[in-house]
Structure 1
Amino acid sequence: MTPEDQETQPLLGRPGGSAFAAALGPLSFGFALGYSSPAIPSLQRAAPPAPRLDAAAASWFGAIVTLGAAAGGVLGGWLVDRAGRKLSLLLCTVPFVVGFAIITAAQDVWMLLGGRLLTGVACGIASLVAPVYISEIAYPAVRGLLGSCVQLMVVTGILLAYLAGWVLEWRWLAVLGCVPPSFMLLLMCCMPETPRFLLTQHKRQEAMAALQFLWGSEQGWEEPPVRAEHQGFHLAQLRRPGIYKPFIIGVLLMAFQQLSGINAVMFYAETIFEEAKFKDSSLASVVMGVIQVLFTAVAALIMDRAGRRLLLALSGVVMVFSTSAFGAYFKLTQGAPSNSSHMDLLAPVSMEPAEASVGLAWLAVGSVCLFIAGFAVGWGPIPWLLMSEIFPLHVKGVATGVCVLTNWLMAFLVTKEFSSLMEVLRPYGAFWLASAFCILSVLFTLFCVPETKGKTLEQITAHFEG
């Protein structure tokens, strides 16, 4: 083992255990997101007395999680500054377990929707608190690696739900959903609060003890200044560049993440795989899940070497090309505009011989896979990582809460309104619009997003304050 490896091992190992415990929250969040994909077909086939979903209820069953998560983002922003990072993670296990328990015991559609809403609230809290906790316990040299594990655990949770959905019906799948948050509850009880939060509570001795547990020493630690005027958030503080600059960047990162078209591509994937004559179109979900996990893992491994800005820009360029190709696929396979309903837009109408149509569908499959790989390398994990890095300590709860609220509301709007957009612009126009947003995201990255690689959180704050 080289001296460099000996130096890095404790830096990764000590906070790594705490980061893993916290990242079980995002794993639970990913499982809750992925749950609807295998559960909805199972619930649509359910025989009485089990609840059964019609088309409208199935739509809400999938989408209501995003509304719950938007509320959870606001609640998490309030909790993270008052209850602390550790206690907030412990508390979010309650709506996860209770929500899945209600789904397991559901006797009607309202119980199903209520359970999904509760798991959504837990998703919102976990998606906010876990990145903040991990960024505050991690040494700068490994903060990108550990921070990227948040998104890695999310996509792993989604893939786990897809795989488990092949062998478990919806009730037993909900029982499985209770396992990760229960495990997180047990592990987080043994982990410390973050030193930075303890300092805001004027508990310096406890903060130093937590630092000793996490890092093994105080070497490399830059103690954040905690002054009386820094306690809490006030609107007047938005006049300061150290507040409004990261605030605007954080909100726009979350908006661009959803405007990239990720939800639309995931929505279309099974149809595309069917057009390519896959024998089992549900395999599409698993294939996409595997691609997401692999490329998010690659992003985590190279994050602290390549940097955030390079990966964001590269990710955006890949998504520009793949969404453009995806739009071209729809342009080539659909006829002239008509007055058909948006449901007719869901299945491409072939103008080519059968073999040519299958060939085009394979082009679309390649575009889908390329898009998901590109998204996973940059715009999937990095907005969440940057959100946890760029805000000053005293406004972190409010600012991250607004960012998470933006993300989930945009996810809800894109998911619910995309079909209406396709009626107006046609499918190819809708995906070319997503391509235009991806171009804007690349320009935004190059001109507005700072590089945070290797910097302490205090140095990042000082950068914005000039």
Structure 2
Amino acid sequence: MAAETAAAAQELMLDENVEPPAGSAPAKTWPQYLAALTVTLSSLSVGTVLSWTSPALMELQDVNATSAPFHVTQDEGSWIGLGLALPLAASWVVILAAGGAAALYCARLLAGLAVGGISAVAPVYIAEIAHSSVRGTLGSFFQLMITIGVLYTYCVGAAAPYHALAGACLAPVVVFCVAFFFMPETPSHLLTKGRRREAVRALLRLRGAQYDYRDEIALLQAEVDESSRRKASVRDVLRSPAARRGLLLSLGLMAIQQLSGINAVVFYTSTIFKEAGSSLSPSAAAIVVGVVMAAATLASSLLMDRLGRRALLLLSTAVMAVALAVLGLHIHLALQGIGWLPLVCVCVYIVVFSLGMGPVPWLMMGELFNPEAKSIASAASVFTNYLLVFVITKTFEPMSSALGTAVVYWIYAGLCAAGAVFVFFLVPETKGKTMQQIQEMLATGKTS
């Protein structure tokens, strides 16, 4: 393998007349941080899409709100919460010009197309441009920027009327479209297209002009060549024990992430605090939740390679179950004099979700599959995630009306507890493991 790598590097230099750098300077990290931050402006926009309903629907459903251009019913509001860049930008333009609920349905569907694409592409871009020394940190930016987008929307929504909020949410999309135009394509993608000279230039832009690229570009070329020889079909994925178990684990983690009720909490944060009788105003409580979510996700990026994936997932699911159960009890008993309790429960829930169940499923989606199965399995995982976003968001208000909000939170608590059992018995620890070691663990069914 070493001889093949050296030969590939030599061929690259001869064919392209690219001189190797004089020294062997280490890779610079700031260009990679810049590229990762730029691409995750798109995920910040995902956060604005997810949380826009919290301030906007309270205004649209309030028949006494004079700043609302029109009003919607509770059922119409649940559909508007579902329909998650050009499609993303177009969605905000439609929202600005909307004259009724039907236009908002169309806007959210446009946004949904963009969110699905961003969720599949942005993490892959980061993984392909990042040096191994910073890949974990940069990989956490996707979820972190979503939480910052949520906080941004909560803050603007607390002070801005309907149209100003939509305009503020459009702004990050415009900045992303302009800034990302100047970012390099990933070296791996350029190599798959046979554009090796451009791949070298992109790698030097990301690592620094004095970086000795030869070993890395040769390894990337070898991976691209191997992947092209081993394209996997759906049947191939299901035939391999390691791929089957990896797919089961990824789908299970995506399901637990959404069945925990996270999007019902994020979409309707303001409504939750209003109905729970919190002593804080709904908008202020939502901002507190947004701050907590962003801070906890940042902390997760620092703990991921220290505590491990399993520990964070088990902590997350167990504590989420307790927090939701207590929140449901507070609402069921209509407790007076402790209006701070709903805020504490939701903040604890958000903290532990952001530490584990928020970022880890997306991270492990990239760790559980070998290259030839990754595209198929990742697509299935993203589809499952957003299908359950639809189910949870659409059923939250109807279930709350039929069963009571307390019962809905108890259902989510039970699903979180079931998720803890799933993690304990089935999810392996991938911290510090190579791809080969992870595949061996999946093939044998070990969890550690």
| Counterpart-to-counterpart distance in 2, 1:204 and 1:226 | 16
Deviates more, 1:380-389 or 1:274-283: 274-283
Matched, 1:212 2:204: yes
The CA deviation at 1:427 is 4.6
Distance 1:274 1:107, change over 3 A: closer
Superposed displacement of residue 377, structure 1: 0.8
Structure 2 residue aligned with 1:42:
59
Once the two structures are superposed, residues 148-191 of structure 1 have per-residue CA deviations (whole angstroms, 9 ceiling, x without a partner) of: 11111111111111111123222222222222122222222222
Residue matched to 1:74: none
| Cα deviations by residue, 1:213-255 (Å, 9 ceiling, x for unpaired) | 3344446775425254423534233201342222211111110
Q: Which amino acid aligns with 2:88?
A: F
**What letter matches 1:317 in structure 2?**
A
Superposed CA deviations along residues 370-410 of structure 1, whole A, max 9, x for unmatched, are 11111111111111122233333333333222211111111
SS at structure 1 position matched to 2:143:
helix
Shift of 1:285: 1.1
Residue 403 of structure 1 pairs with residue 387 of structure 2: no
Q: Structure 1 residues 419 and 100 mapped into 2: Cα distance closer, same or farther (>3 Å)?
A: closer
SS across alignment from 2:336: helix
The reply on whether 1:434 has 2:400 as its aligned counterpart is no
Separation (CA, whole Å) in 1 of partners of 2:306 and 2:36: 20
* Cα distance, 1:213–1:451 mapped onto 2, change above 3 Å: farther
In structure 1, how many angstroms separate the alpha carbons of the residues matched to 2:67 and 2:288? 33
**Contact kept? 2:317, 2:357, Cα under 8 Å:** yes
CA change 1:444–1:22 in 2 (3 A) is same
1:364 aligned partner: 342
Q: Does 1:312 align with 2:304?
A: no
Cα 1:9–1:433 shift into 2, 3 Å:
farther
In the TM superposition, residue 459 of structure 1 has moved relative to its aligned partner by 6.0
Which of 56, 69, 75 aligns to 1:56? It is 75
Q: Distance in 1 between matches of 2:28 and 2:311?
A: 25
Matches of 1:121 and 1:34 in 2, distance apart?
Answer: 17
**In the alignment, is residue 301 of structure 1 matched against residue 302 of structure 2?**
yes
Q: Which runs of 4+ in 1 moved over 6 A?
A: 46-49
Matched-pair contact (CA < 8 Å) for 1:277–1:358: no
1:188 aligns with 2:180: yes
**Alpha-carbon offset, residue 414 of structure 1:** 1.6
Which amino acid in the other structure matches residue 64 of structure 1? Answer: G
Deviations 1:351-382 (A, max 9, x none): xxxxx6222x4333322221111111111111
Question: Would you say 1:239 and 2:239 are equivalent positions?
Answer: yes
Normalised to the residue count of structure 2, the TM-score between the two structures is: 0.81
Q: Write the letter of the residue equivalent to 1:176.
A: A
Question: Quick one: distance in 1 between partners of 2:49 and 2:25?
Answer: 34
Contact 1:144 1:453 in 2 (8 A): no
Asked whether the 8 Å contact 1:28–1:177 carries over to 2, the reply is yes
Residue 134 of structure 2 corresponds to 142
Checking the alignment, whether the CA contact within 8 Å between 2:123 and 2:142 is kept in structure 1 is yes
Q: Does 1:197 align with 2:189?
A: yes
Shift of 1:116: 2.0
Shift of 1:311: 1.6
Q: What is aligned with 1:254? A: 254
Distance 1:112 1:424 in 2: 25
Please give the alpha-carbon distance, in whole angstroms, between the structure 2 residues aligned to 1:363 and 1:8.
Answer: 54
Mapped to 1, the partners of 2:433 and 2:407 lie a distance apart of 41
Cα gap change, 1:420 to 1:61, in 2 (>3 Å) = closer
Alpha-carbon distance in 2 for matches of 1:373, 1:279: 19
Rate the CA distance shift 1:277–1:104 in 2: closer, same or farther, 3 A: closer
Do 1:141 and 1:454's aligned partners in 2 also have CA atoms closer than 8 Å? no
Q: Which amino acid aligns with 1:259?
A: L
Instruction: Provide the residue aligned with 2:44 in structure 1.
Output: 27
How big is the shift at 1:280?
1.9
1:105 to 2:97 alignment = yes
Question: Does 2:171 match 1:170?
Answer: no
Aligned residue for 1:339? none
Unaligned segments of structure 1, at least 5 residues: 1-6, 66-92, 334-349, 351-355
The alignment partner of 2:81 has SS state of helix
Aligned sequence identity (%): 35
Aligned to 2:88: 96
Corresponding position of 1:417: 395
Question: Aligned pair in 2 of structure 1 residues 259, 41: CA closer, same or farther (>3 Å)?
Answer: closer
| AA of the residue aligned to 1:373 | V
Distance verdict in 2 for CA 1:24–1:439, change over 3 Å: same
**Residue identity opposite 2:307 in structure 1:** A
Q: Paired residue for 1:123?
A: 115
2:379 aligned with 1:378: no
C-alpha change, 1:137 and 1:304, in structure 2 (3 Å) is farther
1:128 Cα deviation from its structure 2 partner: 1.6
Q: Which residue of 1 aligns with 2:422?
A: 444
Give a deviation string over 1:320-375, Cα, whole Å, max 9, x none.
321232233345x0xxxxxxxxxxxxxxxx4xxxxx6222x433332222111111
Larger deviation, residues 197-206 vs 434-443: 197-206
Long gaps (5+) in structure 2: 1-23
Count of paired positions: 410
Q: What is the alpha-carbon distance in structure 2 between the residues aligned to residue 232 and residue 454 of structure 1?
A: 26
Q: Distance in 2 between matches of 1:113 and 1:123?
A: 15
TM-score (norm. length: structure 1): 0.78
The answer to which structure, 1 or 2, has the higher relative contact order (CA under 8 A, 6+ apart) is 1
CA distance in 1, matches of 2:342, 2:201: 54
Question: Could you tell me which amino acid in structure 1 is paired with residue 306 of structure 2?
Answer: R
